Structures are given as C-alpha cells and as structure tokens.
Structure 1
Amino acid sequence: MLVVVGIVIFFVGLLFSIAWHELGHLLTAKMFGVKVTQYMVGFGRTLWSRKKGDTEYGIKAVPFGGYIRMIGMFPPKREEEYGRTASSAPWRVMIEDAREAASEEVTAEDAHRQFYQRKPWKRIIVMAAGPVMNLILAVGIFAAILMGYGVSTPTTTVEAVSECVLPADAADTTTCPAGAPASPAAAAGFRPGDRIVEFNGRSYAEWEQLQRAIRDSSGTVPVVVERDGQRVHLSADLMQTERPRLDDTSESVTVGFLGLTPTMHLVKQDVGGVVGTMTNMVTLTAQKVIELPQRVPDLVGAIAGGEREQDSPVGIVGASRLGGEVLSSDQIGVDARIIMMFNLLAGVNLSLFVFNMLPLLPLDGGHIAGAAWESIRRGFAKVVRRPDPGPFDTAKLMPVAYAVSLLFIGYSLLVLVADVVNPVTLF
C-alpha cells in the first residue's frame, strides 16, 4: 500500500512540476501581450477544461508533459518568397504546414498579439520562464532541506569498526569469512564512540580531510582518540588495498585502509552552503544530460537482462516508482523518507531546467537560441547600417525540430521499457 501511495504522491508532484513549468510561459506571455489560447497539462484527449478570458485551461489524458499555445509562433513569409515556385519537398511541406498551423488562430483583432512580433529579449524571457520555474522550485526545495533539515555529514567520531578486511567487490559485507585478516582499526584497538583527535601527528576537524589523510598514508601511523573523556594513544598499521576513487567511483586506486565507519549527523547549511551545493548539482546535472546519448547501450543492455546502473536515466514511470520505493522503505526513518521524496522531486525539476535549456528545437532552448540569433543579426545590421533583416524565421528549422522530436520520443520509449522491465532501485 505504501508503494502505491508513494507512486501516486510522486506522480502528482511530477504533474505539478509540469504545470508549474507551463505557468512560467503563460504568465510571461500574457505580461508581454501575447495571446495564449490554451494552457494544458498532458497530451491527447481533453479530460477537463474551462475557458477563462482568451485561454482554455485543462487536463489531458496522457500525463507525460504539457504545453501552452501562443498565436503567431512563426513569422509569415516574406513578400519576395511568395513569387517563388512552390516546392513539394518534404522539408518545405513541413515548414509551410507549421507556418499555416501557427497562423490559423490569428484573427484580425489579434494580429498585434502574435509571439513573433515581440522583441527578442521578451521572447527569450517567455521561453526561459518555464525552465526557470523548474529551477526556482528545485532551489526552493533544496534550500528548505539544506537550511531547515540539514545534510547528513560524516564526523571524526567512530560509528563502527570493521572486524576484518574484505575485497571491494565482496557480495557479503556483514560477516568475516574464515582466514580474513583483521582490519588495521580492529587490530589497533579502535572502538565505536572514539573521536579521532590526531592522525599521524595532525588534527582534523572534518571527516573528508581525515579520510584523505588515511588514504594517502601507509605503514604504522600514531593515532590519538578521545574515549570517555580521556585521550588514548593507538598505533595503527595501515594496509594498502584497492578502493574506488573519491571523485570517480567508477575507477579504483590503491590507497591506505584503516577500517572505520564515521558517525553521521545533520548539519544545517547557510546561504553560502546552499549556493555551493546548487552550483555543484547544476553542473553535475548538465554533465549527465550531455551524457544521455552515451547511455543508450546501457539501457538496451538493461532491457536485455543486464545490470541497470544506479545513475541510469529514468522517466516519469521510473521516477514515480522510486517515490513508491522510498516511501515504503523500512531501512530509513519516516522523516528521512519524506526528505528523500522531496529531494527526488527537486532533482527532477533540476533536470527539467537543464534539459529544456538545450539549444534545440522544439525545446525552449531552441526558441531562445533563435531569438538570441535574431537580436545579434539585427544589432549587426544596425551597426553596419544595413536594412533590418526582420524576425528570424524559426519555421525553417521545423524539419530539424521534427527529427529531434523523433529522437526524444525514441529515447523516452527506450527509458520507459527499461523502467518497466529492469527498474532502477535505491535500496
């Protein structure tokens, strides 16, 4: 039951994120006087709608996206183009069909309210407003969690001591097999609750610094711990072993090994911490979006029965399933489940922001790039005193937009199948 409830709650959160995205487009379009005829969440058949003013607001049957419909998305043909011989080439048909569809809703009284007539900077704001709304929602959620709840941060206090040394790829990490060597920490006499005061003659206030010092060390190292209010001197004989890199877990390196697990505690972040965290998350998300084409072989392999990577792309179905898994998990507390649900939702919104800013039609970034190019072209013409080249005709890029759309649809179907037959799991 909790799995179903979690899926439903997270799915509703995704629909809200889509509606929130389209609201950004809607509000800015109306602010600049563009007529908006539809504001819809979903695609396909309309389940419910209500018209208010110029705009029909509604919900459609296929909840995998949303849109607003603005009149006059593309400029009309130039006068000199009307005299040219009509072409029956498929790409030319696509262009003219798109232009005709964009002009169908334009009436005489609304001729001045078309999207293409707005200045480039206004069109950029309208198209960027949707992704920016997702960014605002992501930042708001992350900031509330980071500043109000805190980040689980390792400390220099020992939570657990490994009894023995196991291979990095060991399937069972809970028991020590016969003949397994004792870990350096167990041999040195470390106990849970010890706070490491000094390591190899230096003090460390943060676990990350201490961890790097341990990994860079070898041989016998003196350690001072605080135990029951008293300082205890220990001597640890570190061993060298293969462990994943800290900055890239896909690679392994030979490092010093002690065999300790640090105690975790929640640390609330300030504004600077939030800014730093968000900067890192946006950078990482952009990197993952750029790597999407490289993930096709992994997705195909996962569908064929291979291992599904933890950072594999997921769609709405996969993300909703993760929400159900989190809410029903008994491995973490209720508060941690709720926080993880919000973290997942914020992560989805961050991905929507980055993905939609790609400079490709039909994405928002493609329209932004077109408006930016128009501004540059008009500015250059003004500087060199040439005639105004007029609005940039994005309709001519519709064949590219259709090709990109087909690729996106194919990729989405691939992810959907992988989410169904071999889903990503967190626990």
Structure 2
Amino acid sequence: MTVVAFIIGIVLLVVGLAVSIALHELGHLVPAKRFGVRVGQYMIGFGPTLWSRRRGETEYGFKAIPLGGYISMAGMYPPSPKEARSGRAGGGFFATMVQDARLANDETLEGDDDPRVFYRLPVWKRVVVMLGGPVMNLLFAIVLFTILLSAIGVQAATSTVQSVSECVIPPTEQRTECTADDPVAPAAEAGLRAGDTLVSVDGVEVATFAEASAIIRDSAGETIPVVVERDGEQVSLSLTPATVTVPETDATGRVVTGPDGEAQTVDVGYAGMRAEVEYVRQPIWAGTTATFENVGAVAGVIWRLPVMVWDTAVSTITGQERDPNGPLSVVGAGVLAGEVAAADAPVLNRISGLIGLLASLNVALFVFNLIPLLPLDGGHVAVALWEGIKRTWAKLFRRPPPKPVDATKLVPVTFVVVIALIAMGVVLIVSDLVNPISLFG
C-alpha cells in the first residue's frame, strides 16, 4: 500500500469526522436558538482557536484539536445560591469543583431573571436540544449507509465466470504459481472459459455463482453436466470437481474447532474458477435498516466497554491478537481508513469502505452520546427528565413547584466519568499504535 494513499485515507476520515462533529453541534444549536436560548459559541474542536467569526450574538469557529466540539448555551444550570457567590468553597477538592462550575455558569447569565437560558426551558424542549446532536449523527449515518447500499450497491458474485485457474494448488501451500506436479484445474479441464455464463449445473438452473458453488462443493469426485452460455449460444460441458480439504465453518463463517481446539476440516468439491463481481443496488430503505442494525451492535459493545477496553489492554501487554470486533480510538479508525484507501482494490471499493467506516463512526457517536452520564448528552437528558418527574410528582400531590435541578452538584460524578473516558481513550490509543487492528492481518 502506498504511503500517499494511506495519508489521504486518514485525511478523508478526519474531514469526515469534522463534518460529523459539525452536524452534531448543529443539532444542538438549531433547536436551542429556535427556543430562544442565547448561544455564545459554536466551535468545532478543542484547544486554541484557529479561526472564528461572530455573527449576531454567536461566535462560530474552529479549534486546533478536531476531536470534538461544543456550543456554549447561557444558563445550562440555575444560578448559584447567593450565599455561594462569594468566598472560597469548603469541603475540599470536589466542593471547589462544584463552586467553579457554578461560577462559570453564572458568567453566562444576564441576571437571576435572565429569560434566555437553557435551564428555564420546559423539560421537553431541553430534551429536544440535547438529543438534537446524537440524532444528527444518526441521520448522517442513515444518509451514508443509503449512499453505500442504494447508490453504490453491494458487491455480489454473478453467474459469469471471470477467470479459470490453470491448476489445483493445495490450500496448505502459500503460492500462486502452478508447477509441473500440480493437477489441471477441473474447470480448465472441462473447457470452461472466462466470460462464460453458467446456465445450469448438474441439471439445476442457477442464477448466481453461489448456487453453482453449492452444487460443486457437494459433488467432489463426481462428473456432472454443466451448461454455459458462450457467445450467445449454450454449450454443454462435463465437470469433475476435485476433492480438497478445507476448514469447516459454521453459519456465521467462523471456523469450527474440536474439543482439542484444533480446526475441523471437511472434504469439498473444487472447480477452480472465479466469478465476476458487480455492484447490486439495494432498496432505498436498506440504509435505514443497516443503520439500526449497527445501532444494536454498537450498543452491545458500549455496555461492555470497560471490560472490552481491559481485554484490549491485556492483549496489548501480552502481545496477543486483538478482538477485531473490539473498540477503537480515533487513531485506530484512522489506521483503518488509511488501509482502506491504500488497498489494492478498485477505487469504488475503497470509496465504499471509507463511507462505511464513517457511517459506523456516526452510529458510535449516536449511541455513545446517549449514555445517561454527564457530561454526555444522555446525562443532560437524564437531568431534564428527573426534573420533569419531580414537577409531575409535585403537581399530582398539589405541592409547590420544585426548584430547578442543580446539576452542578453532579460535577464530582462528571469528573470521575471524564477521568474514566480519558483513561480508556489512552489505553485504546496506545493499543492502536502498538497492537493495531488491521483489515488485512
């Protein structure tokens, strides 16, 4: 794989992630402004500001580290109690953090009765604002998967022969060139040619190469009739599939192992021909279906994330191979994007791979941000819903409306969550550098 193509793949992924982040924050920005909340900043990235421009009351810009983004809404939390607005906080480190969070929030307010603040919105509007970001990632993923499946299509083997092998090479030998000792491939011996279209195999009409392959695999050592279409005419041939020993696989394609841990083998028929592959466009709803299937798969990873990160660390330390379905950092995603871009494959295949990778990352952003812990969007949704429950309870029992929930009290929990996320991120980045997951082994 070429270095230039590898770098291009990484750059394209970074640009795609920047677009994903921009859409995520736009999902927060638009409803916040529609509901009258004052938004001070809309930023893509963290760290030093590279470029910004103020339009109206909002500053829009880009920062140096493109690993996230944020919008700054006025009054995310209610104002600090008056007695807490002066003097130093008592109670140690976490109490100081709570007070600092309150003071930072107070700076976004224009007085205690500021009407254009987030915490004054009805519960449902706050939920809409906070869910707007993840939903944008979900919609972007649907668009990307729809482009991938319905505009480009899914590769499928046709019933047309692309190439015919000259000989049968034992699967245990790592070579591609034939020798004088290798037997002639059954397809070549039968007279099959590149460009032939399979019509029937062993008297059974076939519409796909998979159907033909299934019959051939079950016909090892038997002579079976094959009808092909060649130059507009049907030609009858006789094929005797060779018997080869291959690892046995289950319905999911995984190798079946015995009690001793060794791979089980099975004898199958082999012809020695490859099919032409073409892109088959899927129904327009296939992208949406694929997106939600990915949501389920990612959710299964997210709830086991700490354990899977621990397993990743163990694999890296012990030098074992990582789980290919395990979590990745943005560095690992960049490596995969580089491998896809530099692969020895048609350009359309590589484009499809990059689109699929970016779509999957947006699904991951959607699911991850729904975790009901601050500072994630799901945490803010949980706070709003808790306040809604308290208000409903008070209304049912005709009690005075409760005060707005002061989420700054959860700053210690937020701190622990952030530290845990940073720790897991460091483990994954180190693992992706030292023991990366590769598409090509």
TM-score w.r.t. length of structure 1: 0.81
Q: Give the AA of the match of 1:270.
A: P
The within-5 A match list for 1:239-318 is: 241-247=246-252, 249=254, 257-259=268-270, 262-293=275-306, 294-302=308-316, 305-318=319-332
Contact 2:126/2:384, CA 8 A, preserved across alignment: yes
Contact 2:79/2:112, CA 8 A, preserved across alignment: no
Shift of 1:30: 1.0
Shift of 1:175: 6.1
Provide closer, same or farther for how the CA distance between residues 248 and 233 of structure 1 changes in structure 2, counting only shifts above 3 A.
Answer: closer
Does structure 1 residue 107 correspond to structure 2 residue 110? yes
Q: Give the AA of the match of 1:49.
A: S
Counterpart in the other structure of 1:172:
174
Report which stretch shifted further, 102-111 or 360-369: 102-111
The 3-state SS of whatever aligns with 1:108 is coil
Contact 1:40/1:66, CA 8 A, preserved across alignment: yes
Shift of 1:118: 0.8
Structure with greater Cα Rg:
2
Shift of 1:339: 2.9
Shift of 1:394: 2.7
Provide closer, same or farther for how the CA distance between residues 227 and 392 of structure 1 changes in structure 2, counting only shifts above 3 A.
Answer: same
Distance across 2 between alignment mates of 1:171 and 1:97: 67
Provide closer, same or farther for how the CA distance between residues 204 and 14 of structure 1 changes in structure 2, counting only shifts above 3 A.
Answer: same
Shift of 1:384: 4.5
Distance across 1 between alignment mates of 2:124 and 2:426: 35
Deviations 1:183-228 (A, max 9, x none): 9989999776665656787656556677778889999796755353
Deviations 1:365-396 (A, max 9, x none): 12122223333343344344444334333333
Distance across 1 between alignment mates of 2:108 and 2:394: 32
Shift of 1:413: 1.4
Shift of 1:359: 1.9
Gaps of 5+ in 1: none
Distance across 1 between alignment mates of 2:102 and 2:217: 62
Distance across 2 between alignment mates of 1:391 and 1:223: 79
CA RMSD between the two structures: 3.9
Distance across 1 between alignment mates of 2:211 and 2:376: 43
Counterpart in the other structure of 1:357:
370
Contact 1:160/1:261, CA 8 A, preserved across alignment: yes
Distance across 2 between alignment mates of 1:176 and 1:299: 44
Distance across 2 between alignment mates of 1:16 and 1:145: 18
Counterpart in the other structure of 2:349:
336
The within-5 A match list for 1:54-93 is: 54-76=57-79, 88=91, 90-93=93-96
Shift of 1:250: 6.9
Does structure 1 residue 399 correspond to structure 2 residue 412? yes
Gaps of 5+ in 2: 258-263
The 3-state SS of whatever aligns with 1:45 is strand
Provide closer, same or farther for how the CA distance between residues 95 and 201 of structure 1 changes in structure 2, counting only shifts above 3 A.
Answer: farther
Contact 1:43/1:62, CA 8 A, preserved across alignment: yes
Contact 1:47/1:61, CA 8 A, preserved across alignment: yes
TM-score w.r.t. length of structure 2: 0.79
Distance across 2 between alignment mates of 1:151 and 1:199: 25
Q: Give the AA of the match of 2:406.
A: D
